[in-house]
């Protein structure tokens, strides 16, 4: 029974890493090309894509910690030590999403008036 938990959580970790990699390498470049028409300043676009990349990395790290602690192996439980750092980033992202949304709306209004 324990081997089932071990194998399924390892497979979940692998798929979480693959999904994060695909999101960063495939989806974010498409999103960058799409937003390039709307956001004319290259600095703003690069900062937004960097922020999204970091958010994806933190989300994947959260999943990896969650799945490794679900295995129940005492050696793998040491990876849970980074959970407080990830909690801080998650709290930060909850505020940053509003800041980014307000910033994009203000940027759109500024460019719409031109």
Q: What is the pLDDT of residues 12-26, one digit of tens each?
A: 999 999 999 999 999
Is residue 1 scored above 60 in pLDDT?
A: no
Query: What pLDDT sits at residue 76?
Result: 80
Q: Which two tokens stand for residue 21?
A: 């990699």
Number of Cβ within 10 Å of residue 9's Cβ equals 20
- pTM metric for this prediction: 0.83
Is residue 112 scored above 60 in pLDDT?
A: yes
The C-alpha atoms of residue 15 and residue 67 are separated, in whole angstroms, by 11
pLDDT in tens, 70-86: 888 888 878 888 889 99
């Amino acid at each position: 029974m324990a081997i089932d938990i071990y194998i399924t959580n390892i497979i979940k970790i692998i798929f979480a890493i693959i999904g994060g990699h695909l999101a960063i390498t495939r989806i974010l470049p498409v999103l960058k090309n799409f937003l390039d028409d709307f956001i004319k300043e290259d600095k703003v676009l690069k900062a937004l894509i960097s922020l999204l990349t970091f958010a994806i990395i933190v989300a994947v790290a959260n999943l990896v910690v969650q799945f490794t602690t679900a295995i129940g192996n005492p050696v793998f439980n040491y990876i849970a030590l980074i959970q407080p750092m990830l909690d801080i980033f998650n709290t930060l992202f909850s505020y940053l999403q509003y800041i980014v949304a307000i910033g994009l709306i203000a940027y759109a209004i500024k460019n719409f008036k031109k």
